[in-house]
């Protein structure tokens, strides 16, 4: 699903004429299979966010190749990346990144508006997903009127509304108390299990890493350790993916 081969990245910083090269990632080889939950762990400054930004096309690798779903994305233009992100990725952030002037409902609806989905279908899909995630009653609330846990659930709903195959999460529970963290982690496991969504999660938190099938440790921009938490059988992935799509389409009635 996600393949990085010999990926390196360096930033160029400083004023013109006095530029300095800051090497950040070195020869990263990484494969994330469909239906996996992969945690990226490592100390501050080890390159975790840079790795996520490379996977999502916000920055280009200085060297190496990145393939998503078999497609070489290394040379996509900005416009092509924007379309590719909309079709393939959902994003969850530590700071939720909800739009404060929009209600919870409108925040969840926004990706459908951007994709040009018509009003009636939008309403049906937003209502169904908000019910599934347990936030339907907050549809008319603005983000400032919601607790941190409720805001995070709204942002999870927004990340899933286009049914992306991959969700990238950057410290998703970093602003949550332990109760809300537990709820979020259970939700991620369910979404992975029922819909076959692939998750790549940056985290400092062992609790979060423990729900992953694999934890990848970055140290000074190098991949130093991968540990298997659970095995993901290929035929299970296939089954979960198909069952998950049915689950959404049938409004929650699973076989």
Q: Which of 50, 150, 152, 159 lies at the binding interface for ligand ATP (CB under 6 A)?
A: 50
Interface with ligand ATP includes 47 (CB under 6 A)? yes
Helix runs in 39-162, H state only: 48-55, 78-88, 104-114, 119-132, 148-160
With CB under 6 A as the contact rule, which of the stretches 37-45, 144-152, 190-198, 225-233 interacts with ligand ATP?
37-45
Tokens, residue 34: 């469909």
- CA dist., res. 196 & res. 34, Å (int): 7
SS3 210: coil
User: Phi/psi zone of residue 70: left (φ > 0), alpha (ψ -120 to 50 degrees), beta?
Assistant: left
Cβ closer to ligand ATP: 42 or 143? Answer: 42
Single out the segment in contact with ligand ATP by CB under 6 A; choices: 29-37, 45-53, 82-90, 136-144.
Answer: 45-53
Name, in order, each residue with C-beta under 8 angstroms of 111's C-beta and a sequence gap of 6 or more: 86, 158, 161, 162
CA distance 28 to 231: 22
61 touching ligand ATP, by CB under 6 A: no
- Applying CB under 6 A, the site for ligand ATP has a residue count of 12
Options 35, 38, 48, 232; binder of ligand ATP; rule CB under 6 A: 48
Among 16, 18, 20, 44, binds ligand ATP (CB under 6 A): 44
Q: How far is the CB of 44 from ligand ATP (least distance, A)?
A: 3
Query: x-or-dash pattern for ligand ATP, window 98-117, by CB under 6 A?
Result: --------------------
**Cβ neighbourhood burial of 10 (10 Å; 0-12, 13-18, 19+):** middle
In the complex, least distance from residue 50 CB atom to ligand ATP, rounded to whole angstroms: 3
Among 6, 14, 29, 45, binds ligand ATP (CB under 6 A): 45
Output phi, psi for 234, to 5 deg: -60, -40
Binding residues vs ligand ATP (CB under 6 A): 11, 13, 22, 24, 42, 44-50
């Amino acid at each position: 699903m996600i393949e990085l081969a010999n990926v390196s990245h360096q930033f160029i910083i400083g004023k013109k004429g006095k530029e300095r090269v800051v090497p950040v990632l070195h020869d990263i080889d990484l494969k994330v299979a469909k239906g996996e939950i992969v945690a990226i762990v490592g100390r501050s400054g080890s390159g975790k966010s840079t790795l996520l930004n490379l996977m999502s096309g916000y920055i280009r690798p200085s060297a190496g190749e990145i393939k998503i779903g078999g497609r070489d994305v290394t040379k996509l233009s900005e416009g092509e990346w924007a379309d590719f992100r909309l079709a393939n990725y959902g994003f969850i952030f530590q700071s939720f990144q909800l739009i404060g002037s929009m209600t919870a409902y409108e925040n969840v609806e926004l990706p459908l508006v951007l994709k040009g989905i018509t009003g009636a279908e939008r309403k049906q899909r937003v209502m169904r997903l908000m019910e599934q995630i347990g936030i339907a009653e907050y549809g008319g609330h603005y983000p400032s009127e919601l607790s941190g846990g409720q805001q995070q659930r709204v942002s999870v709903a927004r990340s899933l509304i286009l049914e992306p195959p991959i969700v990238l999460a950057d410290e998703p529970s970093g602003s949550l108390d332990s109760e809300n963290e537990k709820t979020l982690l259970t939700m991620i496991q369910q979404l992975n299990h029922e819909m076959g969504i692939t998750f790549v999660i940056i985290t400092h938190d062992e609790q979060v890493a423990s729900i992953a099938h694999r934890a990848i440790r970055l140290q000074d921009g190098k991949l130093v350790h991968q540990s298997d938490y659970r095995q993901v059988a290929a035929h299970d992935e296939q089954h979960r993916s198909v069952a998950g799509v049915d689950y959404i389409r049938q409004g929650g009635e699973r076989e």
